Amino acid sequence: MISVSDCVGRGPWVHKLIAQACELADLRRTLKLRLILWGFPDHVDVAQLCVSELVTNVIQHVGEGTPITLRVVLNEPYLRLEVEDPETRALPTVLAANSALESGRGMALLDTLTDHRWGVSLRDDTKVVWCELATEAFVASNSRNGPRVRRAGAMLDLYGSWRLSDGRAIASRNSSVLGSAAGEEAAIGVLADVLHWLSAYGYDPDDVLDRAQTRFEAEIGGAV
């Protein structure tokens, strides 16, 4: 049986756009379609996160409205994502996970998601920030190198580094970003990824869920 990906060329995909926050949703949708057609549906979520961080890095450190070019190149055994911009002086850096600064957190996430496979290439009048995702067939979704497990691990690392003393401020920040329906879907996605992470590292997801439920009920009871 011939799959859809067999009928679609896998040559480099080049997409020019303006670095604006309002462009990210459409860019993620377009990237998702491209990767599905190429036969990499399991890589969509991580690739979308990586591209979002690359573009956001341009917005924050070069300037919103900067013309950029996204290139997606399949170079087995890796899927390479590149974002090119015209500023050669603003180079990305990775901060320690426990840093209190927000700047640099995105690149720390990228560093985790790509297993340290990212870098910067300087040209005459532009720079390219790139990252690579493994595409080997043996990288299953529930293995330690699988995209869902890497994403969950990155979220857990960043979650552990957030040190806000006012719990009400955390709730306020979350509620301002996501509506109730979107928040519920995001929470379901996080929980599903964490279950993948637990399974990959040899834990019993059912046992952990039971313990989490017990802790949750105890905390709710104590707050009443």
188 shares a domain with 135: no
- What total of structural domains would you count in the chain? 2
Q: Does residue 1 lie within any of the structural domains?
A: no
Closest CA to 131 of 104, 150, 112, 149: 112
Amino acid residing at 159: Y
Report the chain's mean pLDDT, rounded to a whole number.
Answer: 76
| 206 or 148, which is more confident | 206
Q: Which CATH number belongs to the domain containing residue 92 in this structure?
A: 3.30.565.10
180 shares a domain with 108: no
pTM (2 d.p.): 0.60
| 35/10 Cα distance (integer angstroms) | 9
111 shares a domain with 204: no
Q: Does residue 66 lie within any of the structural domains?
A: yes
Q: Does residue 2 lie within any of the structural domains?
A: no
- Which letter does DSSP use for residue 95 in this model? -
101 confidence band (pLDDT: 50, 70, 90) = very low
Per-residue pLDDT for 110 more than 90?
no
35-39, 41-45, 154-158, 188-192: which has the minimum mean pLDDT? 154-158
Question: What's the domain range around 56?
Answer: 7-139
Of 105, 139, 173, which marks where a domain is finished?
139
Percent of the chain scoring above 90 in pLDDT: 29
Q: Does residue 148 lie within any of the structural domains?
A: no
What does the pLDDT look like over 113-123, one tens digit per residue? 777 788 899 98
Element (H, E) at 176: helix 167-177
Q: How many CA atoms lie within 13 A of 133 on its CB side?
A: 29
Six-digit token string for 37: 């057609």
